[in-house]
Amino acid sequence: MQARHPERHRTEHIGWLRAAVLGANDGIVSTASLLLGVAATNAPTSQVLIAGVAGLVAGAMSMAAGEYVSVSSQADTEGADLAKERDELASNPESELEELTDIYVARGLKPSLAKEVATQLMQRDALAAHARDELGISEILTARPVQAAFASAATFAVGAALPLLMVLIAPKNSLIPVVAVASLIFLSALGAVGAKVGGAPVFRAAARVTFWGALAMLLTWGVGALVGTSV
């Protein structure tokens, strides 16, 4: 008997990957932009560092709270849909069988085969069959608020620590270019890694995050420079 071929798909990573990439990207962009904005006012390095640390802590907590609330809302919606489907299965199973049959017919099965498939799946686990094929809710893609919150907060902190490290090692007179260039390199690497894990084109993803990161840092530096010359 031929051994089964195990398959792993990239959608298995989608729950934590989205939150992790978002957290790390925000950590690098927001912290680097904050550092450049403060540094552009000719503030001492100690003040730039304090601002960056404050931004790291506040940003990580904000990311965790935001992801948890957002994904919890998704989970609540999924739960409400499942509860409604459970009630419909209990009160009108025949109609639900026809509904599932129609779904399989629309996907290309012959009506007789579609009804047989729907019948067998509903006998095994009617709610799971309707959740997957009618509502599009699956175990792999289901909302996980705690996982998303932790992934976002942790990766934000890691991302934010990278430009902060540049402040510690860069000479005062070259702090701005060192932080800016290093942060763009970090963003490019992040985009490439995220694309590689997700199976997307690497160059396009790296260019995308680098462009938007550069724009954010340029605008924040400009505001800082303007404020620094007018105060």
The answer to pTM > 0.75 is no
What is the model's pLDDT at position 230? 53
> Is a pLDDT exceeding 90 seen at residue 28?
yes
Mean pLDDT score across all residues of the chain: 84
Q: Which range (44-53, 95-104, 156-165) has the least confidence?
A: 95-104
Q: Which range (68-82, 103-117, 137-151, 212-226) has the least confidence?
A: 137-151
Question: How many whole angstroms separate alpha carbon 111 and alpha carbon 59?
Answer: 54
Average pLDDT estimate for 163-192: 91
- Please, how many CA atoms are within 13 Å of residue 172, restricted to the half-sphere of its CB? 7
Residue 30 burial (10 A CB sphere; 0-12, 13-18, 19+)? buried
Question: How many whole angstroms separate alpha carbon 201 and alpha carbon 41?
Answer: 39
* 224 touches 39 (CB < 8 A): yes
Average pLDDT estimate for 35-53: 92
Average pLDDT estimate for 20-36: 89
Encode pLDDT of 121-139 as tens digits: 888 888 888 888 887 776 6
What is the model's pLDDT at position 17? 66
% of the chain at pLDDT higher than 70: 87
Average pLDDT estimate for 110-125: 88
Closest of 230, 227, 217, 219 to residue 176, by C-alpha: 217
Left if phi > 0, otherwise alpha if psi is -120 to 50, otherwise beta: which for 136? left
What is the model's pLDDT at position 218? 92
